[in-house]
Structure 1
Amino acid sequence: MSKAIQIQSTGGPEVLQLISRDVDRPGLGQVRLAQTATGLNYVDVMVRTGLFPVGLPAIPGFEAAGTVEAVGPGVSGFAPGDRVAYFFADGAYAEVSNVPAAALILLPDDIPDETAATFLAKGLTAWMGLHALAKPAPGDTILVLGASGNVGSILSRWATAEGINVIGVAGSSSKLDKVAAGATHALLAGDNDVSGDIRQIAPDGVDVVYDFVGQSTFDLAVAAVRDGGVIATIGAASGSSTPPTEALRRRGVEVRGGGTPQYVRDGTVEIAAAALWDRLRRGVFEDLSVERYAFEDVARAHAAMDSRRLGGLPVLIV
């Protein structure tokens, strides 16, 4: 018997229930994984609350790391004892899980399981933003709305390390220092003329806006982007962004969006993951704190995500 976290209905953190279950031998194309760390992401909250519909009962979670226990028929490239991780396969809130082998990547010896589970999905989303949704070059200026969030803080530091000028916007004064640590310029969303402050830094507008907030910041994104620039929408904490308008089309501004698995798949996964491990080795994200939760404390972790009280990048220790 192994432990898992299950929801039988949608709702608040209290619907997350600890259960015991038997895990069968892996089926065709599957690997049985003893998971040691599970990533916590906003999509998990969306599953729990019903914003991301799944069949119920369900085991939430899409990201974890651990050690291969057994491989099923038709699996090649993995063997018992291999350390692996995945960033978009369901059922991650579990001690043991059968995972499609196609979703797994082998972990380098110097990347701990906890690090992989903390950074993989968020880091690959940041890579997608910088190398797929838009491709700012060294010397370009980007605006990051929601720069204190999990992915926004990683993307800001990654871009800065690549020689890109980063204007980071914090949602509250308590988060300004965190934004400043990863950006060339740090601004506060509540300032009276934040749009004017951005134009003082980039008089013609920024080359790319990365919007992690959504509806409540889209007007600022439109005001800040240069003609011919890109607004990359990643996430929508305040609701979906407004669809592109005719005025934006006349300015040649593209609004691009999409999920990480849409852009980071097949051979691209290895390329993106290798780039992420390289940035981790170089210490690009070393100032970012990690907030660890015991497996049985998953409801407390979700309560912190609900109230935006996370003190660092969250990870569930199994």
Structure 2
Amino acid sequence: MHIAQVRDWSEGPRYITVDDAPAPSDNEIQLRVLATGLHQVVRSRASGQHASSGSLPHNVGIDCVGRDVATGKLYYCSWMKPRFGTFAEVITVPRAVVHLLPDTIDPVAFAGSVNPAMSSWLALTQRTSNLPEKYTVLILGATSASGRIAVHVAKTLGAGKVIGVARDEAALAKMEGLDEYIVQKDPITDTDFSQVVCDVVLDYVYGDLALHVLSTVNIQRPLQYISIGVLSRKEVAIPPGLLRSRDITIRGSGPGAIPMPVVLQEVKKLVPAVTKLDLLEAHSVPLKDIEEAWRDKSLAGKGRLVFIP
């Protein structure tokens, strides 16, 4: 069968032939992969820059939508085991890491949506505490894929108000689910957050925007800031006086911040929730074309990139 595999961290994945997937044991299931998403964490792992990258050769992919070879039932699979990858034609995995899906789900759209949704789901369920009822969420980088679906995840998890922040006013205006939006200006310090009162900040940008928000947002009640992504520069200096003068709790949300057993338990709750959300727009590419598509930056404007064996 064919898989995508990295043999040199600097070269990206190759489409190669390997032995067929092993037959499943009683505690395993064999899936014929229908769609597998190219998430940011997948790129990071495939470049050797992620804590879970493991050693070479590296098999690409962490999740997929596939059909049980034996029964034809549709499943979502998520597994970050070293040397395991979902960019393959067939995979054999423990039954504990697969989740049954309605047969009406679009495999491509679902494969492109679950991982982005997981970022905000884990941030809100595992990295916040004692949120009030109908809490308010401020999303930095709201027009990114993860930011878009975070709007709906937050509402699902009890948010009463969601405010989006991004540079693209036209895109913000078209987003469903936002109660308000703020257009990020240049320079960032011209963006006015002084009237914003919120309980949680979900940050997919970081950098100067994060510092400006933490410095100027209207603190009328405790604020919980959660760093999830880095679309801006990676470092910012937070003055100690800021931390002493404002009721702010700063946390990060990612693989190192949340134990894997907890992540697996939350995925069980997340998957059925995502089946009820508006899924992200996704663009499918044959797995055999991965070497070219991996480097094609023009595909980023077509929605989430999903590979189909």
- Scaled to the shorter chain, the TM-score interval is 0.7 to 0.9
Q: Which residue of 2 aligns with 1:295?
A: 287
Instruction: Please tell me whether the aligned partners of residues 18 and 296 of structure 1 are also in contact (alpha carbons under 8 angstroms).
Output: yes
SS for the counterpart of 1:206 is coil
In the alignment, structure 2 segments of 5+ residues that lack a partner are none
Could you say which residue in structure 1 is the equivalent of 2:32?
34
SS at the partner of 1:265?
helix
Determine whether 1:253 maps to 2:244.
no
Aligned-residue RMSD, C-alpha: 3.1
Distance change >3 Å, CA 207–CA 113, structure 1 → 2: same
For residue 252 of structure 2, what is the amino acid of its counterpart?
G
Q: CA deviation at 1:36?
A: 0.7
Structure with more relative contact order (C-alpha pairs < 8 Å, separation 6 or more): 2
1:106-146 per-residue CA deviation (whole Å, 9 max, x = no partner) reads: 21333343343122222232322333323655643321111
Question: Any residues of structure 2 matched to 1:5-154 within 5 Å, and which?
Answer: 5-11=4-10, 15-23=12-20, 24-26=22-24, 29-52=27-50, 53-69=53-69, 80-89=71-80, 90-134=84-128, 139-154=134-149
Query: What is the TM-score of this pair, normalised by structure 1?
Result: 0.79
What is the number of equivalent residue pairs in this alignment? 295
Among all aligned residue pairs of Structure 1 and Structure 2, give the percentage whose two residues are the same amino acid.
26
Distance in structure 2 (CA, Å) of the matches to 1:228 and 1:44: 35
For 2:209, what is the secondary structure of its paired residue? Answer: helix
**TM-aligned CA deviation for residue 238 of structure 1:** 3.3
TM-superposed CA distance for 1:300, in Å, is 4.7
Contact 2:188 2:209 in 1 (8 A): no
The separation in 1 between residues aligned to 2:250 and 2:182, in whole angstroms, is 23
Correspondence for 1:270: 268
Query: Take 2:27 and 2:233, find their aligned partners in 1: how far apart are those partners?
Result: 37
Q: Which residues of structure 1 form unaligned runs of 5+?
A: 71-79
8 A contact 1:172–1:190 mirrored in 2: no
Check the 8 A contact 1:233/1:241 in 2, yes or no. no
Q: 2:203 aligns with which of 197, 211, 220?
A: 211
What amino acid maps onto 2:40 in structure 1? Y
Provide the TM-score with structure 2 as the length reference: 0.81
CA distance in 2, matches of 1:254, 1:155: 20
Q: What letter is aligned with 2:163?
A: I
CA gap of 1:310–1:299, structure 2 versus 1, over 3 A, is farther
Alignment partner of 1:111: what SS?
coil
Counterpart amino acid of 2:288? E
Change (3 A) 1:160 1:68: closer
Cα distance, 1:233 vs structure 2: 1.0
Match of 1:187 in 2: 182
Q: Is the helix fraction higher in 1 or 2?
A: 1
Q: 2:160 aligns with which of 159, 164, 181?
A: 164
Cα distance change, pair 197–140 in 1 and its aligned pair in 2 (3 A): farther
Helix, strand or coil for the counterpart of 1:255? strand
Describe the superposition over 1:236-291 as per-residue Cα deviations: whole angstroms up to 9, x where unpaired.
Answer: 2335565876445432311122326647535433222222223x2xxxx26x4222
